[in-house]
Structure 1
Amino acid sequence: MTHTTVTSNGVQIPFSPDYFGEMRATVLATTSDADLRARYAEDGYVLLRGFLPAAPVRKMRDAYLEMFERARQEGTLPQHGTKGHPAYAFVRSAPFRQFVEQPVFQALAQRLTGSAIAPIRRTPLRHFTAGSKVASRAHIDGTYIDGSPTDVVTVWTPLGDCTIQAGSLMYLEGSHRDGGLPSQVRGGAPMDRTNDVRPITHDLKWLAETTGRRWMAADFAAGDVVVHSPAIIHATLDAAAGERLSADIRFRRVDGPQDPRWDNDWSSDDGY
């Protein structure tokens, strides 16, 4: 850890072993289904290095950034992910749909759940530009999607290299094993977005100190993915050292809950 202090939504947090730990990776080829599920249950996430070939991932990144830069040069961009923004068009494009519908994603989700699963079409695309003081606030996916940790899985897929200081996803250690934790801390948590009750807090230092838990983090290379539970608290740092582009590829158990909004393409203003 070379940085002594980092920020998330502009709030400082010491980049030290008191606040951060290293995510452990799983080797998919040498891990049985039973051990894979045990690791997922224990950690709340499964980090897989080199899950995808790097070249197609980088190609997807380049395609979006070219579209984004062209739109930015043409004039003022609307809010990220709304109609008229390149992210809105990109998630509806054939190359993006082909990328997220690769069979390896569904096979991974099926191994983790041990059940028949179906893809969730709604696939958010996150883009944080370098130097911006905007990051993902601490939250659980369960606040935004219906389903228990065994009903829905998210495959967080960075489109290109993504270091911790570029905004890679981080997990609050063991938080998925305490279902009451979000509600316990929410009442006293600092929050910079008072009109949105879904995030827990924007102050990652406060949350780590209040819960006595570290943020588990890792640098990602193109082709790496991490699967996480809807019950685990996660967040990101500000993209101070690079540009983060990522997709949330999700699957649900066929015998679990189904929300009709899952069948729609994502937009950032869909209220979901």
Structure 2
Amino acid sequence: MPHVTMPSPSTPLFVNDGLLNPQQVGGLRASYPNEPLEDLKQRYQDEGYLFLKSVLPREDVLKAREAYFKLLEPSGVLAPGTAPVHGIFDGRNDKLDFPGIGAGSTDANGRPRGGLFVDLAMQAHTEPWYKEFCQNPSLISFIAKFTGWGDKTLSLRRTLLRNNTPGNKAIGVHYDQIFLRHGDDTSVTAWVPMGDISLDGGGLIYLENGHALGREIEDGFYVRAREAGLSEDEAKNAFNKNMMSGGLLADGPKGFAEAYGKRWLVTEFEAGDAVLHTPYTIHASTINKNASNVIRLGTDLRFVDSSKPYDVRWTNDYMFGDGV
């Protein structure tokens, strides 16, 4: 049966703008793939997300995790003598030299600093083992059934394979339609943790009822832009220009939660889990404070109904400066 995993009040949860207060934190509700489909659909509609336990084979996830860290091992990111699958950060390193994609500081060309580490992290997006992982039949078959799209279910080629090394900057507040606005707002994102993630290990956090707020923010700006005489394309571009750098609503989840009087929903994740969320579901991540220096790894997979208009910019592999 679905349940809410309540975080321990003794676990401090840090975000980009400080420590979340206990009253700002709630538990993410867990669901299971074998529950009645109509119940899962209603929960997704009501809450804006579906936290699925064990929807992928655990061994498939750990196999991909091991391949990723074997690829990145020459960068010196891993602690000597540790197995790549464990992804243990070498704490002797300067954390700023090992930034996560989309969260770290950038150089004059807009590339994250990090040299070989970043080059290998980008290369991972086109590795055969990763391409195979992104097409995992267990996840795709569930989404095809859950959405009713069937054989029209398309897994978009552009994905974001992100690491989060301990102590580094986390992902700020956003919703996905910001980046997929050149298509219908019917896409489904599957955030897949590639390994176990402790409560303080830098996992994703979801704003309570954030899907309703995200749609409200989107609709409110769009209406005002059209009333000002902007065309549809001009309205989209104007909206993007009003976002923070990188398409964020805010850099700090703490202040964002305070401004809207909402809680962030959090949980631990296990290899094999996935969170499905709507294009308007507001989410962010915590700073990785794992005591064992475990690197958080996860990927954002997007799915669309191929019979409807979708953002074709997402049909190419992710690369720096691709304009999305």
TM range (shorter): 0.7 to 0.9
Q: With structure 1 as the length reference, what TM-score do the two structures score?
A: 0.85
Q: Are 1:28 and 2:33 counterparts?
A: yes
- Distance in 2 between the 1:143 and 1:98 partners? 27
Are 1:111 and 2:145 matched, yes or no?
yes
For the residues of structure 1 that align with 2:45 and 2:284, how far apart are their CA atoms? 19
In structure 2, the residue matched to 1:244 is 296
CA distance in 2, matches of 1:31, 1:143: 32
Pick one of 258, 283, 287 that aligns with 1:234: 283
Q: 1:174 aligns with which of 209, 226, 230?
A: 209
Q: Distance in 1 between matches of 2:30 and 2:66?
A: 27
Match among 291, 295, 305 for residue 253 of structure 1 = 305
Alignment of 1:1-272 (within 5 A): 1-3=8-10, 5-9=12-16, 11-16=17-22, 18-32=23-37, 34-72=38-76, 79=112, 85-115=119-149, 116-132=152-168, 134-146=169-181, 147-149=183-185, 151-178=186-213, 179-181=215-217, 196=245, 198-241=247-290, 242-272=294-324
How far apart, in 2, do the equivalents of 1:4 and 1:94 lie?
A: 38
Task: Return the alpha-carbon distance in structure 2 between the equivalents of residues 80 and 37 of structure 1.
Answer: 41
Distance 1:82 1:101 in 2: 29
Following the alignment from structure 2 to structure 1, what is the Cα–Cα distance between the partners of residues 128 and 178? Answer: 30
Percent sequence identity over aligned pairs? 30
SS at match of 2:265: strand
- The secondary structure found in structure 1 opposite 2:34 is helix
Is the CA contact 2:56–2:139 (under 8 Å) kept in the aligned structure 1?
A: no
Q: Could you say what the CA RMSD is over the residues aligned between the two structures, in angstroms? A: 2.6
Contact 1:40–1:112 (8 Å) recurs in 2: no
Tell me, yes or no, if the aligned pair for 2:55 and 2:139 is still in contact at 8 Å. no
Distance (whole Å) between structure 2 residues aligned to residue 226 and residue 197 of structure 1: 22
Q: Aligned equivalents of 1:267 and 1:82: distance in 2?
A: 15
Q: Which runs of 5+ in 1 are unaligned?
A: 186-193
In structure 2, what is the Cα distance between the partners aligned to 1:20 and 1:86? Answer: 35
TM-score (structure 2 length as normaliser): 0.72
- Post-superposition CA distance 1:48-93 (Å, at most 9, x none): 11112222211211211121121347xx887379997112211111
Deviation at 1:31, TM superposition (A): 2.0
Alpha-carbon shift at residue 44 of structure 1 (Å):
0.6
AA aligned opposite 1:231: Y
Separation in structure 2 between the aligned mates of residue 121 and residue 165 of structure 1, nearest angstrom: 30
Residues 80-129 of structure 1: CA deviation (Å, up to 9, x unaligned): 79997112211111111111112222222223322232110111101111
| Count of residues in Structure 1 that have an aligned counterpart in Structure 2 | 258
Between the aligned partners of 2:256 and 2:128, the Cα distance in structure 1 is 40
| Post-superposition CA distance 1:224-265 (Å, at most 9, x none) | 111111101100011111311111111111222223321111
Taking the aligned partners of 2:244 and 2:262, their CA distance within structure 1 comes to 27
Deviates more, 1:169-178 or 1:252-261: 252-261
Q: For the Cα contact (< 8 Å) 1:21–1:217, is it kept in 2? A: yes
Check conservation: 1:82, 1:88, Cα contact below 8 A: no
Please, which runs of 5 or more residues in structure 2 have no aligned partner? 1-7, 78-96, 99-110, 222-242
Report the 3-state secondary structure (helix = DSSP H, G, I; strand = E; otherwise coil) of the residue aligned with 2:68: helix
Contact 2:189 2:277 in 1 (8 A): yes
Larger Rg: 2
Is the 2:15–2:254 contact (alpha carbons within 8 Å) kept by the matching residues of 1? no
